[in-house]
C-alpha cells in the first residue's frame, strides 16, 4: 500500500517487484488511512484499485468479483486449448460468460492474438468495468463485451455451432453458504458473483445444457467449479452425450477446480 500512498496505483503483485517508495509526511498520512481501511476488512484490491491476473494488471472494484489465483488454473488450461486451435491457422472464436471484470476474456485475447473474443455479464456495472479494463489494455478492438444473461447476448445464427472456446467462471456457492461467507467477501464483492442457487450449481447446469448449441464440433467448454463439485459435474457432462472428452483440472491439493469438455 506504500506505492498507492505515494500516488502509484499498482496491484499487490506488481508492488512486490518494485523498490519501496520514499514517503513524505502527506504520503505517510495516506498510508495510515489505507491501513486503517484494510483493518476494517476492505479488500486490498479495492484499496489499490488493481489486481494481477495471468500477468495482466486489471482495474478492480466493487462492480465485480476480484480475480483470484485459483481462476488462473482455468485460464491456463483454456489458453492451452485455444492455442492448439489457433495452430491450425484459424482465428478462434471465444465467448466468456459471467465475465465480471473481464479477466478471462482479456487474458485470452492478450495471450492469443488470433482470437476473436466476446464476453457477457448480467451486471451492467460489471460490463462497464470490463470495458474499462479492455480500454486500459488497448484490447477494445478485439474484445466485445455485452450485457445480458449468460449466452442470451449471442443467441443468433452467427454464433450457433461456431464457437471454438466457451469460458465461464460462474457463481457456484450455495445460497445458504453465501450468507455466512467472510465479511471481507460478503460486504465488498457482489452477491451475484457468488450465489449459485440452493445447491450452488444453477448456472453450471444451464451452461452445460446451453453450450452444445454454440460450440462447433471439436470446440471446448471450460469452466470453474467449487470445492467438491468436480466429480458430479464431470459425470453430468458425460451423461449428456454431447461431449467427446472431459478433462478435470486439479489444484495442488488434488481438488478439481476446473473442467474442460470437448464437443
- HSE-up (13 A, CA, CB side) for residue 85: 27
Answer whether residue 51 is part of any domain.
Answer: no
- Cα(29)–Cα(185) distance, integer angstroms: 27
The model's pLDDT over 199-238, given as tens digits with 9 standing for 90+, comes to 888 999 999 999 999 999 999 999 999 999 999 999 999 9
**Spatial contact of 61 and 132, defined as CB atoms under 8 Å apart:** no
Answer whether residue 66 is part of any domain.
Answer: yes
The model's pLDDT over 65-76, given as tens digits with 9 standing for 90+, comes to 999 999 999 999
Is residue 28 pLDDT above 80, yes or no? no
**Spatial contact of 148 and 117, defined as CB atoms under 8 Å apart:** no
Nearest 5°: phi and psi at 93?
-100, 125
Is residue 244 pLDDT above 60, yes or no? yes
**Which are the contacts of 123, defined by CB distance < 8 A and separation ≥ 6?**
63, 64, 147, 190, 192
- The three cell numbers of residue 134 are 479492455
- Cα(172)–Cα(120) distance, integer angstroms: 17
Residues 26, 66, single domain; the answer is no
User: 114: helix, coil or strand?
Assistant: coil
Residues 32, 128, single domain; the answer is no
Residues 30, 95, single domain; the answer is no
Residues 86, 174, single domain; the answer is yes
Instruction: Give the helix, strand, coil percentages of the chain, each rounded to 5.
Output: 40, 20, 40
Residues 183, 68, single domain; the answer is yes
Largest Cα–Cα distance in the chain? 65
Residues 8, 71, single domain; the answer is no
Residues 147, 227, single domain; the answer is yes
**How far from each other are the two terminal CA atoms of the chain, in whole angstroms?**
46
Is residue 32 pLDDT above 60, yes or no? yes
Residues 125, 208, single domain; the answer is yes
Answer whether residue 205 is part of any domain.
Answer: yes
pLDDT value at residue 1: 60
pLDDT value at residue 111: 98
pLDDT value at residue 177: 84
Give the total number of structural domains in the chain: 2
CATH of the domain at 194: 3.40.50.150
Is residue 31 pLDDT above 80, yes or no? no
Residues 156, 29, single domain; the answer is no
Angle (nearest 5°) at CA 226 between 112 and 39: 90
Is residue 5 pLDDT above 60, yes or no? no
pLDDT value at residue 145: 98
- The three cell numbers of residue 148 are 445480458
pLDDT value at residue 65: 95
Answer whether residue 49 is part of any domain.
Answer: no
Residues 143, 193, single domain; the answer is yes
Residues 256, 129, single domain; the answer is yes
Give the residue from 35, 38, 6, 34 showing the smallest Cα distance to 20. Answer: 6
Which tops the pLDDT comparison, 17 or 94? Answer: 94
The pTM of this model reads: 0.92
pLDDT value at residue 182: 83
Answer whether residue 189 is part of any domain.
Answer: yes
Range of the domain at 85: 62-262
Is residue 186 pLDDT above 90, yes or no? no
Residues 32, 82, single domain; the answer is no
Amino acid at each position: 500500500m506504500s506505492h498507492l500512498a505515494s500516488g502509484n496505483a499498482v496491484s499487490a503483485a506488481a508492488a512486490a517487484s518494485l523498490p519501496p517508495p520514499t514517503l513524505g509526511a502527506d504520503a505517510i498520512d495516506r498510508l495510515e488511512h489505507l491501513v486503517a481501511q484494510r483493518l476494517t476488512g476492505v479488500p486490498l484490491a479495492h484499496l489499490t484499485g488493481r489486481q494481477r491476473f495471468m500477468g495482466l494488471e486489471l482495474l478492480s472494484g466493487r462492480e465485480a468479483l476480484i480475480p483470484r489465483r485459483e481462476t488462473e488454473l482455468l485460464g491456463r488450461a483454456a489458453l492451452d486449448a485455444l492455442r492448439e486451435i489457433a495452430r491450425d491457422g484459424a482465428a478462434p472464436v471465444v465467448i466468456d460468460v459471467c465475465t465480471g471484470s473481464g479477466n478471462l476474456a482479456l487474458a485470452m485475447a492478450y495471450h492469443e492474438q488470433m482470437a476473436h473474443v466476446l464476453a457477457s455479464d448480467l451486471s451492467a456495472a460489471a460490463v462497464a468495468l470490463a470495458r474499462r479494463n479492455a480500454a486500459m489494455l488497448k484490447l477494445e478492438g478485439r474484445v466485445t463485451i455485452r450485457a445480458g444473461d449468460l449466452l442470451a447476448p449471442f443467441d443468433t445464427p452467427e454464433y450457433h455451432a461456431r464457437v471454438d472456446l466457451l469460458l465461464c467462471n460462474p457463481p457456484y456457492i450455495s445460497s445458504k453458504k453465501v450468507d455466512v461467507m467472510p465479511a471481507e467477501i460478503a460486504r465488498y464483492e457482489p452477491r451475484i458473483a457468488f450465489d449459485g442457487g440452493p445447491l450452488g450449481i444453477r448456472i453450471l447446469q444451464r451452461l452445460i445444457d446451453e453450450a452444445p448449441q454454440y460450440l462447433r464440433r471439436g470446440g471446448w467448454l471450460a469452466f470453474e467449479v467449487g470445492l467438491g463439485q468436480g466429480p458430479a459435474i464431470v459425470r453430468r457432462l458425460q451423461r449428456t452425450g454431447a461431449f467427446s472428452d472431459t478433462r478435470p483440472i486439479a489444484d495442488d491439493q488434488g481438488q478439481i477446480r476446473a473442467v474442460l469438455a470437448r464437443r
